[in-house]
Amino acid sequence: MFKSGFVTIIGRPNVGKSTIINNIVGEKISIISDKPQTTRNKIQAVYTDEDSQIIFIDTPGIHKPKNKLGEYMGEEIDSSLEGMDLVIFMTDEKKSLGPGDRFIIEKIKGLKTPVIGLVNKIDIHKNFTFVELELKESGVFHKVFPISATEGININTLLDEVKRIIPEGPKYYPDEYITDMPERFIIAELIREKALNYLMQEVPHGVGVYIDKIEGSEEGNVINVNATIMCEKKSHKGMIIGKQGSMLKKIGTAARKDINKLLGSKTHLELWVKVKKDWRDDENILKELGYRDW
């Protein structure tokens, strides 16, 4: 009996949703950083084993939108709850559920779809039992698990429960398939991840990455990638480039390592920086950057 199903993961920004998906599929599909609102798109990742196929939807962290990009992220969350076989709610609170968690729990309270609750970062927070009890007593959750997305603690237990809940179904994707996102989107996200990791707090939310070109070299053993980092202010451009190009080089060097793994080939990465004021409210730019229909 083969089982397959669609599972969406929701929670506040920066609770580890992308980390757990990357851990499960064994590849970096969703980018990770310590900045909130890292994930901007609804990213589909596929886990396949001998008797099941689980399609995970990684959603942007739920927050109040401040621009068209924020509105788009909200739309992605709402659509990700439609037609699911299972919803997973994730928190990393160590003492008590906060207002953001409670808002999301109210949002999913009326769902007919089964909901699993996860308390993340138990490798860091040892006294998580009260939060676990809060989730259980809410009456919303089918099961509640303490986990560590980074260390893989209880991930197999979670997968066993997911497999138990999802219905019998076909194999939607080939065994080797791990995401439905275009290659150029993942490359852009890997570059954006490095920018998020290296730049100051006020810069990252105004950063987007556009892939200008991906092509093989004449020798055939190197893939050339040209990309533009979009920012909203001239002062941000200076920060992204850094003194004598030092910051841009740091971003590019780190991104290239992940792109090499993704493509299975050496890559030559060239980065440019462009200022476009209020690009997060520009529908055309949002489409170019992949935040609307492909």
Task: Report pLDDT digits (tens) over 81-92.
Answer: 667 899 999 998
pLDDT tens across 270-282, in order?
999 988 877 777 6
pLDDT tens across 15-68, in order?
888 889 888 887 766 655 554 444 445 567 889 999 999 988 877 654 454 445
Q: How confident is the model at residue 69 (pLDDT cuts 50, 70, 90)?
A: very low
CATH of 183-288, one of 3.30.300.20, 1.10.300.10, 2.60.40.1180, 3.40.50.360: 3.30.300.20
The mean pLDDT of 226-234, rounded to a whole number, is: 87
The mean pLDDT of 241-246, rounded to a whole number, is: 91
Residue 217's φ and ψ, nearest 5 degrees, are -80, 170
Percentage of the chain with pLDDT > 70? 77
| β-sheet bridge partners, residue 139 | none
Other residues' Cβ atoms within 10 Å of the Cβ of residue 253: 11
pLDDT tens across 36-50, in order?
444 445 567 889 999
CATH of 3-165, one of 3.30.420.40, 1.25.60.10, 3.40.50.300, 3.30.1440.10: 3.40.50.300
pLDDT tens across 149-190, in order?
989 999 999 999 999 999 999 888 888 888 767 777 788 888
The mean pLDDT of 121-143, rounded to a whole number, is: 86
Q: How confident is the model at residue 74 (pLDDT cuts 50, 70, 90)?
A: very low
Q: How confident is the model at residue 246 (pLDDT cuts 50, 70, 90)?
A: very high
| β-sheet bridge partners, residue 144 | 117
d(C-alpha 222, C-alpha 266), whole Å: 5
Percentage of the chain with pLDDT > 90? 26
Read off the amino acid at residue 201. Answer: Q
Q: What is the pLDDT of residue 204?
A: 57
Q: How confident is the model at residue 250 (pLDDT cuts 50, 70, 90)?
A: very high
Residue, of 58 and 231, whose pLDDT is higher: 231
pLDDT tens across 283-292, in order?
676 666 655 4
Q: What is the pLDDT of residue 157?
A: 94
Average pLDDT, the chain: 80
d(C-alpha 234, C-alpha 216), whole Å: 33
CB contact set of 30 (below 8 Å; sequence gap of 6+)? 17, 18, 19, 21, 22, 39, 43, 45, 58, 189
Q: What is the pLDDT of residue 84?
A: 85
Q: What is the pLDDT of residue 203?
A: 63
Alpha-carbon Rg for the chain, nearest whole angstrom, is 20
Residue, of 99 and 292, whose pLDDT is higher: 99
The domain locations on the chain are 3-165, 183-288
Residue, of 137 and 291, whose pLDDT is higher: 137
